[in-house]
Structure 1
Amino acid sequence: MLKALIFDMDGTLVHSDPVHLKAFAEILEPEGVTIDDDLYRSSIIGHTNEAIFASLLPHLPVEEHEAYAERKEAAFRRLARELRPLEGLVELLDWADCHGVRIALVTNAPVLNATHILDILGIIDRFEVKVTIEQVERGKPDPMPYLTALERLGIQADEAIAFEDSPSGMRAAKAAGLFSFGVLTGLTGDEMREIGADGAIVTFHDRALWEILEHRATS
C-alpha cells in the first residue's frame, strides 16, 4: 500500500536549475570560472556544495569553499522569487492529502533554501518530513537522506515513491530501495532509465505516473 511520496526539490518540485546556474555564474565569474550548460550538468546538478566548490575551486582552502557556497545560496534566494511549482504538482499534493498519503522532502539543499523555495511555491506546510543537507552526515548520491526520511515517516521503502531529476538523486533513491520516477527537467527519459529510474515523467500530469498511483493507492 502506498503510504508516502518523497520529493527532491530543485528540478523536481520546481524547474530551478536555470536560476542555480545564474547564481553560480554570478559568484564564480570573478574567479575566472565560466558556468555553461555542459559544466552545470556534469559538475553541479545533483552534487553537494562541498563537492561542487572543491571541484571548481581546487586551489582554495575549504573555508573559502564554504564562504563561496554561502554567497551562492544567498544569490540563488535573491534570484528565485518568481519560481512556480512544476505543472501538476499542487494537484498531486491534493490527491495525496485526499488519499492519506504522506509527503516528504529530501534535498541536498540547505534548510534556508528549502524553506525559501517552499514558501515561494506556496507549499511549505504540505511536507510532513523535510530532510535537508545539514541533517545528514552524507548527502546524495548516498542513500542516507532517503533512509532518514523513511525512518522519520516510520515506513518501509516499498511503501513510498520517490521523485528525482538528477543522477546523484536517482542513485540515492534507488540505493534506498525506492520505486522512483525521474522528472525530466534536465535529463532525457533514456538517461534517467540508464541510472535506474523506474519511470520518467515530464510533468506531474503524466499518465505514466497516475497509472502507478491509482494502482498503488488501492493495492
Structure 2
Amino acid sequence: MSDGVFLERERFDTGRRGVARLEALLFDMDGTLSDTDPVHRQAMTDTLVAQGVALNDDDFHRYVSGQSNEAIFAHFFPALSGEERRRLADAKEALYRDLTPRMTPMPGLVRLIDWAKAGGVACALVTNGPRPNVEHTLKVLGLTDSFDTLVLGEELPRAKPDPLPYLEALRRLGARADRAMAFEDSRTGAAAALAAGVFTVEITGPSRATGLHPGADLTVSDFNAQALWARLTATEVLANA
C-alpha cells in the first residue's frame, strides 16, 4: 500500500488534524461502471408492460434502481410465487444482456482503477446484480480482471440497502470503513454504503443532472470530476483515525 494515497474525511471531522491512508475503492456496477440505467429501464419497462404494469420515473428510482431482483419483483408482483417472480427476473435480465453489446466504461473509470492499482489500493465490485449480468458487464467493459473481489448481494443473506454487501467487501479486502471510498448511483446503494460507514460518492452520469441521495458525501458526474480527484490526491486531510 502506497503511503502517498490519502482520503479526505470531512464527514467525520473531529477537530483533529491527521492523515487517513486510502485502502479500498468499492464500486457499484449498474449506472456506476457504465451508464446502463437507460438500458435497464427499457428491459424492465418491456418486462412489466408484458404483464400489464406501467413504470414511471418515480417508480423506477424508488423501486428498481439499485434494488435486488427479489425486492423489485416482490414489489410489482406480490401475488406471484417466488418461482414465478424469478422467471420474470430471469427474462428481464436476458433482455438486458441482449440490449448491451456495446457498453462503454463511465468516463474516468479506467483511469481511476489504474491509479488505484498503481498505488496499491484494493478495488471491489459491490452489486445487487445477478452473476450472469456481472460477468457479462465486466466482459463487455473490458474489466474482467479489474477487481480484487466481487460481492453480490443476491449471494449474501441481505442485499443493498442493507450495509452487509459493503461490510463483506471490507472484510474480504482487509480494509477499514474509514479508509475506503464507495461509488454509487442510486438511493439504495448510497444508503448501504453510508450505513457501512464508508465515504460515499454518488455518480450521476449523463442520464441525471443531480444526485438522488442527499446524504452522499460527494456528488459528481463521472470519475474525471475535479472534486473527486482533489480528495483522492490530498496529502493532508481531516480524519477520525
- TM-score interval (norm. to shorter): over 0.9
- Counterpart of 2:223 in structure 1 is 204
Q: Is the 8 A contact 2:68 2:154 kept in 1?
A: no
> TM-score if structure 2 supplies the norm length?
0.85
Which stretch shifts more, 169-178 or 28-37? 28-37
Alignment counterpart, residue 149 of structure 1, candidates 152, 169, 178: 169
Q: Is the 8 A contact 1:47 1:140 kept in 2?
A: yes
Greater relative CO (CA pairs within 8 A, separation 6+): 2
Gaps spanning 5+ residues in structure 2: where?
1-20
Q: Is the 8 A contact 1:2 1:216 kept in 2?
A: no
**Deviation of the 1:92 alpha carbon:** 0.8
Mapping for residues 52-131 of structure 1, pairs under 5 Å: 52-131=72-151
Q: Against the structure 1 CA distance between its residues 190 and 83, is the aligned structure 2 distance closer, same or farther, given a 3 Å change threshold?
A: closer
Alignment of 1:168 onto 2:188: yes
CA offset digits 1:28-58 (Å, max 9, x no partner): 2221112233321222111111111111112
**One-letter code aligned to 1:41:** H
Aligned CA RMSD, in angstroms, stands at: 1.8
Q: Is the 8 A contact 2:204 2:211 kept in 1?
A: no
Q: Which structure shows the bigger proportion of residues in helix conformation? A: 1
Q: Is the 8 A contact 1:183 1:202 kept in 2?
A: yes
Mapping for residues 171-186 of structure 1, pairs under 5 Å: 171-185=191-205
- Look up the SS of the partner of 1:212 in the other structure: helix
Gaps spanning 5+ residues in structure 1: where?
none
- Structure 1 distance, partners of 2:149, 2:236, is 20
4+ aligned runs moved over 3 Å, structure 1: 185-191, 216-219
Alignment of 1:28 onto 2:36: no
Which stretch shifts more, 143-152 or 54-63? 54-63
The structure with the larger Rg is 2
Q: Against the structure 1 CA distance between its residues 115 and 97, is the aligned structure 2 distance closer, same or farther, given a 3 Å change threshold?
A: same
- Structure 1 distance, partners of 2:104, 2:161, is 26
CA offset digits 1:140-176 (Å, max 9, x no partner): 0000000000000011101210001111101100110
- Look up the SS of the partner of 1:19 in the other structure: helix
Alignment counterpart, residue 63 of structure 2, candidates 25, 43, 46: 43
- What percentage of residue pairs aligned between the two structures are identical? 45
Aligned length: 217
